[in-house]
Amino acid sequence: MSAAAPTAGLDEAHGPPLLKVTGLTVKLPVDGTRRAVLRDVSLELRPGEALGLVGESGSGKSMTARAIDRLLPPGAQVDGMITFDGQNVGALSGAQLRAYRLQVAMVFQDPRAHVNPVRRIGDFMTEALRTNRDLPADEARHRAITVLGQVGIEDGDRRLRQYPHELSGGMLQRVMIAAALLTGPRLLLADEPTTALDVITQSEMVAILDDLRRDYGLAMLFITHDLELAAAICDRTAVMYAGQIVEVRSSARLHDDPLHPYTAALAAARPDIAMTVGRLRAIPGRPLSAFEAPTGECAFAPRCAHVQDACRSTPPPLIGLAGGLSRCIRAHELRGRLEAAGA
Amino acid sequence: MTTPATDAWPAQRRGRRAAMLRAIGPLGIVSAVVIVVAIIAAVAGGWFAPDNPDLPNLSLSFVGSTAGHLLGYDFEGRDVLSRLLAGAQSSMLGPIAVVCMSMAGGTLLALVAAWRRGITDTVISSCLDILFAFPGILLAVLAAAVFGAGLWAAAIALSVAYTPYVARVLRGAALKERSLPYVAALEVQGASGTAICRSHIVPNVLPLIVAQATTMIGYAMVDLAAISFLGLGVQPPTPNWGVMIFENEVGIPQGYPLPALAAGTCIVLVVVAFNVLGERLFTYAQAVRR
Amino acid sequence: MPDSEPIPVLEVRALRKEYSGLVAVDDVSVDLLAGQSLAIVGESGSGKTTIARMIVGLEAPTRGTITVCGHDRSRPARSARLRRRRGQEVQIVFQDPYTSLDPRQSAEAAVDEVLRLHHRWPGDRRSARVAELIDLVGLDARQARAVPSALSGGQRQRVAIARALAAEPRILILDESVSALDVSIQAQVLNLLADIRDATGVSYVLISHDLAVVRQLTDQAVVMRRGRVVERGPTARVLDDPQHDYTKLLRACVPRPGWQPRRRAAIESA
């Protein structure tokens, strides 16, 4: 349904896309009915590229990552196509799926919820290497210690013998990143990896991710609610609302030249560390999930400051302009005016 | 002047009743029906009895199933069905009394321990730990030795034995609830501990209380039947399912198993019904927690 | 509406809190004047939440004094009556909207319960006041009758704010009260808090790690690290021209356009 090819939005070509998501629609069973959580999501990621995925509650950003990693809850209905290196991800099973999981690693927001508390760090980190790559135990440990050093944990040997509860949240998240990198993945899905961390630890963590990306040539999908964070560390940023992509833009231009009213409103709603304003420019209403948003019209229409009758008559397609994508039928005429207009 | 919360109304929640019915399931419904029948029998069983349950007629002793007397006659020639219906009262009353008393005592101890924490909690928990060491039947035997055999002595002894089980489960749930921020907010507002426990903690752990009580009736029924079977609970000739097993036990090796088996089946059916329903309610209680 | 003569509403002196060997708060002194709003800024482990809990009476200080509106409250109240009286001076709104409310209680009932604690008013006077407070936090009548599970995170926080304001406190402690909210909702609630401050003259003590929120809502700030105060002053000055190295580091780590995260040479215990 997109009117523009997903390749629009890239300022330069890195090569053929590593990850290609086309028309992804996901419905989950909730209380007996099927509810849409993702609507027609399309995106592309080149090798070594970092794409930020930004959204509020219900935007579908986490669900997108789970769909890519085949981690959707049972009963989920998935339409559309996800290809990784040309392979159809949805059709993988058994050994192929395991091989896929070695190439696509995921890091979550709360490391404690994703680690077995009764196993030592060393066991958990080297498990994938020992079973899938058949590495002998000490070589796997050696590699683990090396990678731990790369994420800034110097006494790796001691840490490998510790249990998860002996590490702080920040430390454990570093370990999770290291564990994710051990199998040499080509794509890293990071689902709010720094949201639960202090800002100083967060800064450290994203610097590590940045370095590792360059060292390993890793592509990264960085999911966050923090528009500034995504724009600062990713080459391109995609903004999601109500289960759809509403804007894709190169990060450098996202802040000064947004293409969708929601992006502009989101940036404007955030308080500024450098100054106080009388009242913030709040967006009326609340963020909706895909199944709560009105169909047959623009999902953002009820809250948009620039809404017109045409916005309510048909759902807007993604259109390309200025090297980016926008799901707003008024994108062309609003260009340049979105920063100035307030709620 | 104020910033309005013009949020769209979120999707309606499913009713609690519908969710509970789904959690209980068809087997749970069947169990509930069995329990209701048993309660009706307990209340008015004597009225429904087709024959006089108390009048012995030794010429009919252990006569088997005949038309009009489907379950035959017991060792004293009394109609078994009538005896079962009449016996429902003492068979159900005892366990219900046991559960009421132990739930009251256990809940109170649990709330005090959970609310005050610290030393009070340690002392109460230690006392409960000591109480855990005494099996119910042992205490009932003790009570019978001291106060003489009878339903009430046995029931009170069992309540004392069951109290720590109730208190342990409820203490955990109450502690969890007590450490939630809304309780802290109420403390800061100056609400008293009693008021918070009564108006907030108890209602929020109520599904757990109900589930616990339902399961315990089953256990109490088995224990009381055993105590009556031993001759320390309900005394014959009062009709009682446990006593009926004891009275008609002699029939089994003689080839007349029906009276004893019928009484045993009643106990098993009702106990299983309580256990199934209690377990389903427990699962529902856990699911309902946020 | 600032008073013509600034009166200290909160005075904390040499506050200290120890937990079996671990020092969570070490020699902290803080002042809040009427009409001011104070931010206590820091990362996790800085002790900022512990200070909030001590001020409000949920924890007992090991040493030091806390004085609110001239009354000493260095020890937590033993009786409910004293807690009630103190509750009319300082209230608190917690971080998590999902556990700050009794899941079985409607918004109106929650506010009404607090009114009944503090006043012996007849039913209609109470209902009127409940309606006023519900309106003050921007909820409508339908939302007032709703139980928390039917409300969004932002709406629940509004209920928590209304409940706290029902006691008419001089000081409202906001313990990361907007941190768990979506950005667009956070903006609404921050505006609401500013409106409430204009309408009632309440003073805020904002506990937060988010420097932008701190800038928006407060005029005085105290920066904490590992239980000690490392810097204090007007919020604008602390954020624009930080003096202490730690404050400079905090400031430098906030994401903004053009920001380049750098790795630090030494890893402090993260």
Structural domain that includes position C164 = 98-168
> What 8-state DSSP symbol labels residue A8?
T
The stretch A256-282 carries a mean pLDDT of 92
State whether the Cα torsion A217-A221-A223-A229 is positive or negative. positive
Please give the pLDDT value at position B245.
87
- Give residue ranges of B with CB < 8 Å to any C CB: 1-5, 7, 9-10, 12-13, 180-182, 184-193, 199-200, 203-204, 290
Please give the pLDDT value at position A247.
95
Stretch (H or E) spanning A76: none
The stretch C95-116 carries a mean pLDDT of 94
Please give the pLDDT value at position C206.
97
Please state whether the peptide bond connecting residue B237 to the residue before it is cis, i.e. omega within 30 degrees of 0. Answer: yes
Which tokens hold the place of B3? 């910033």
Which tokens hold the place of B128? 């409960």
Predicted confidence band of residue B95 (pLDDT cuts 50, 70, 90): very high
In angstroms, what separates the C-alpha of C141 from chain B's closest C-alpha? 12
In chain B, which residue's Cα lies nearest the Cα of A32?
Answer: B14
DSSP string computed for chain C:
---SS--EEEEEEEEEEEETTEEEEEEEEEEEETT--EEEE--TTSSHHHHHHHHHTSS--SEEEEEETTEE-SS--SSHHHHHHHHTTEEEE-S-TTTSS-TTS-HHHHHHHHHHHH----HHHHHHHHHHHHHHTT--HHHHTS-GGGS-HHHHHHHHHHHHHTT--SEEEEESTTTTS-HHHHHHHHHHHHHHHHHH-PEEEEEES-HHHHHHH-SEEEEEETTEEEEEEEHHHHHHS--SHHHHHHHHTS--TT------SS----
Report the alpha-carbon distance of residue A183 to residue B50 in Å, rounded.
78
Sequence-separated (6 or more) residues with CB below 8 Å from residue A216 = A181, A184
Phi, psi of C244 (to 5 degrees): -85, 145
Contact between A236 and C175 (Cβ < 8 Å)? no
Stretch (H or E) spanning A308: none
Contact between C45 and A201 (Cβ < 8 Å)? no
Query: Residue B226 is part of a domain; what is its CATH number?
Result: 1.10.3720.10
CA distances C104 to A52, B290, C101, C107, Å, are 39, 11, 8, 10
Orientation of helix B241-248 relative to helix B202-229, angle to 10°: 20
- Of A135 and A62, the one with more pLDDT: A62
Q: Which residues of B touch A292 (CB under 8 A)?
A: 8, 10-11
Contact between A266 and C191 using a beta-carbon 8 Å cutoff:
no
Contact between B5 and C118 using a beta-carbon 8 Å cutoff:
no
Stretch (H or E) spanning A248: strand A244-250
Q: Is the pLDDT assigned to residue A154 strictly greater than 90?
A: no
Which tokens hold the place of A126? 């080297």
Between A and B, how many residue pairs show a Cβ–Cβ distance under 8 A?
Answer: 16
Q: Which residues of C touch B203 (CB under 8 A)?
A: 104
Report the alpha-carbon distance of residue C253 to residue A271 in Å, rounded.
16
Contact between A204 and C261 using a beta-carbon 8 Å cutoff:
yes
Q: Which residues of C touch A204 (CB under 8 A)?
A: 261, 263-264, 267, 270
Q: In the complex, which subunits touch A with 3 or more CB pairs below 8 angstroms?
A: B, C
Domain ranges of chain A: 19-271+279-334
In chain A, which residue's Cα lies nearest the Cα of C208?
Answer: A198
In chain C, which residue's Cα lies nearest the Cα of B190?
Answer: C84
Q: Is the pLDDT assigned to residue C184 strictly greater than 90?
A: yes
Structural domain that includes position B230 = 18-53+69-288
Which tokens hold the place of A274? 């450098």
Q: Is B129 exposed, middle or buried (0-12, 13-18, 19+ CB in 10 A)?
A: exposed
Among A33-37, B18-22, C5-9, C86-90, the range of highest mean pLDDT: C86-90
Q: Which residues of B touch A284 (CB under 8 A)?
A: 4, 6
Contact between A273 and C191 using a beta-carbon 8 Å cutoff:
no
Contact between B184 and C58 (Cβ < 8 Å)? yes
Report the alpha-carbon distance of residue B107 to residue B50 in Å, rounded.
42
Report helix, strand or coil for A30. Answer: strand
Instruction: Give the Cα-Cα-Cα angle B153, B158, B162 (nearest 5 degrees).
Output: 155
> Does the beta carbon of B58 lie under 8 angstroms from any beta carbon of chain A?
no
In chain A, which residue's Cα lies nearest the Cα of B13?
Answer: A31
Q: What is the pLDDT of residues C234-264, one digit of tens each?
A: 999 999 999 999 999 999 999 887 788 877 6
Q: What residues of chain C, 108 to 127, have a C-beta less than 8 Å from chain B?
A: 113-114, 117-118
- Of A129 and B217, the one with more pLDDT: B217
Using alpha carbons, select from A65, A309, C114 the residue that is nearest to residue B195.
C114
Predicted confidence band of residue B71 (pLDDT cuts 50, 70, 90): confident
Q: In the complex, which subunits touch B with 3 or more CB pairs below 8 angstroms?
A: A, C
In angstroms, what separates the C-alpha of C114 from chain B's closest C-alpha? 7
Contact between B71 and B51 (Cβ < 8 Å)? no
Predicted confidence band of residue C59 (pLDDT cuts 50, 70, 90): very high
Q: Is the pLDDT assigned to residue B107 strictly greater than 80?
A: yes
Q: Which of C96, C113, C195 sits opposite B1 (nearest CB)?
A: C195
> Does the beta carbon of C1 lie under 8 angstroms from any beta carbon of chain A?
no
> Does the beta carbon of A286 lie under 8 angstroms from any beta carbon of chain B?
yes
Say if C136 falls within a structural domain: yes
> Does the beta carbon of C264 lie under 8 angstroms from any beta carbon of chain B?
no
Using alpha carbons, select from B134, B176, B174 the residue that is nearest to residue B157.
B134
Say if B119 falls within a structural domain: yes
- For chain B, percent of residues with pLDDT exceeding 90: 34
Q: Is the pLDDT assigned to residue A297 strictly greater than 60?
A: yes
Q: Which residues of B touch A288 (CB under 8 A)?
A: 8
> Does the beta carbon of B11 lie under 8 angstroms from any beta carbon of chain A?
yes
Mean pLDDT, chain A, rounded, equals 88
Say if C132 falls within a structural domain: yes
Report the alpha-carbon distance of residue C130 to residue C120 in Å, rounded.
14
Contact between C154 and B5 using a beta-carbon 8 Å cutoff:
yes
The stretch A233-244 carries a mean pLDDT of 94
In chain C, which residue's Cα lies nearest the Cα of B189?
Answer: C87
Stretch (H or E) spanning A78: strand A77-84
Please give the pLDDT value at position C264.
66
Report the domain count for chain C: 1
Please give the pLDDT value at position A14.
54
Contact between A37 and A60 (Cβ < 8 Å)? yes
Contact between A285 and B6 using a beta-carbon 8 Å cutoff:
yes
> What 8-state DSSP symbol labels residue B75?
T
Stretch (H or E) spanning A46: none
Please give the pLDDT value at position A28.
93
Using alpha carbons, select from C261, C228, C195 the residue that is nearest to residue C23.
C228
Predicted confidence band of residue A10 (pLDDT cuts 50, 70, 90): very low
Contact between A272 and C154 using a beta-carbon 8 Å cutoff:
no
Contact between B187 and C163 using a beta-carbon 8 Å cutoff:
no
Predicted confidence band of residue A120 (pLDDT cuts 50, 70, 90): very high
Contact between C218 and C204 (Cβ < 8 Å)? yes
In chain C, which residue's Cα lies nearest the Cα of B10?
Answer: C150
Contact between B10 and C151 using a beta-carbon 8 Å cutoff:
yes
Q: Is the pLDDT assigned to residue A68 strictly greater than 60?
A: yes
State whether the Cα torsion C239-C240-C246-C249 is positive or negative. positive
Report the alpha-carbon distance of residue C269 to residue A168 in Å, rounded.
8
Phi, psi of C222 (to 5 degrees): -130, 125
Q: What is the pLDDT of residues B121-161, one digit of tens each?
A: 999 999 999 999 888 889 988 888 888 888 888 899 999 99
Contact between A200 and C269 using a beta-carbon 8 Å cutoff:
no
DSSP string computed for B92-159:
HHHHHHHHHHHHHHHHHHHHHHHHH-HHHHHHHHHHHHHHHTS-HHHHHHHHHHHH-SSHHHHHHHHH
Please give the pLDDT value at position A16.
85
In angstroms, what separates the C-alpha of A194 from chain B's closest C-alpha? 25
Quickly count: other Cβ atoms within 10 Å of residue B213's Cβ.
21
The stretch A243-258 carries a mean pLDDT of 92
Q: Which of A154, A229, A282 sits opposite C188 (nearest CB)?
A: A282
Report the alpha-carbon distance of residue A134 to residue A127 in Å, rounded.
10
Between B and C, how many residue pairs show a Cβ–Cβ distance under 8 A?
Answer: 101
Report the alpha-carbon distance of residue B169 to residue B128 in Å, rounded.
12
Contact between C80 and B191 using a beta-carbon 8 Å cutoff:
yes
Please give the pLDDT value at position B9.
32
Say if B60 falls within a structural domain: no
In chain B, which residue's Cα lies nearest the Cα of C139?
Answer: B5
Report the alpha-carbon distance of residue C204 to residue C181 in Å, rounded.
19
> Does the beta carbon of B1 lie under 8 angstroms from any beta carbon of chain A?
no
Contact between A45 and A222 (Cβ < 8 Å)? no
Using alpha carbons, select from C109, C208, C195, C192 the residue that is nearest to residue C157.
C192
In angstroms, what separates the C-alpha of C40 from chain A's closest C-alpha? 15
In the beta sheet, which residues pair with residue A321?
Answer: A324
Say if C190 falls within a structural domain: no
Please give the pLDDT value at position B11.
35
Using alpha carbons, select from A12, B177, B199 the residue that is nearest to residue C117.
B199
Q: Is B208 exposed, middle or buried (0-12, 13-18, 19+ CB in 10 A)?
A: buried
Say if C145 falls within a structural domain: yes
Please give the pLDDT value at position B83.
87
In the beta sheet, which residues pair with residue C208?
Answer: C41
In the beta sheet, which residues pair with residue C16?
Answer: C63
Q: Which of C99, C155, C199 sits opposite B5 (nearest CB)?
A: C155
Q: Which residues of A257-270 are buried (b: 16+ CB within 10 A; e: fewer)?
A: bbbbbbbbbbbbbb
Please give the pLDDT value at position A221.
96
In chain B, which residue's Cα lies nearest the Cα of C100?
Answer: B182
Choice among A25-29, A131-135, C199-203, C234-238 with the minimum mean pLDDT: A131-135
Instruction: Write the class of the CATH domain A19-271+279-334.
Output: alpha beta
Q: What residues of chain A, 33 to 52, have a C-beta less than 8 Å from chain B?
A: none
In chain B, which residue's Cα lies nearest the Cα of A288?
Answer: B8
Report the alpha-carbon distance of residue A86 to residue A58 in Å, rounded.
30
Which tokens hold the place of B209? 């209380």
Amino acid at A130: R
> Does the beta carbon of A23 lie under 8 angstroms from any beta carbon of chain B?
no
The stretch A134-162 carries a mean pLDDT of 88
Choice among B47-56, B182-191, B192-201, C84-93 with the minimum mean pLDDT: B47-56
Report the alpha-carbon distance of residue A60 to residue A78 in Å, rounded.
14
Please give the pLDDT value at position A2.
40
Interface test with C, best of B12, B117, B179, B188 (most C CBs within 10 A): B188
Q: Which residues of A touch B3 (CB under 8 A)?
A: 279, 282
Please give the pLDDT value at position A343.
34
C265 CA to centre of own chain: 35
Report the alpha-carbon distance of residue B48 to residue A318 in Å, rounded.
76
Contact between B5 and C158 using a beta-carbon 8 Å cutoff:
yes
Please give the pLDDT value at position B289.
63
Please give the pLDDT value at position A65.
95
Q: Is the pLDDT assigned to residue C2 strictly greater than 70?
A: no
In the beta sheet, which residues pair with residue A224?
Answer: A54
In angstroms, what separates the C-alpha of C69 from chain A's closest C-alpha? 28
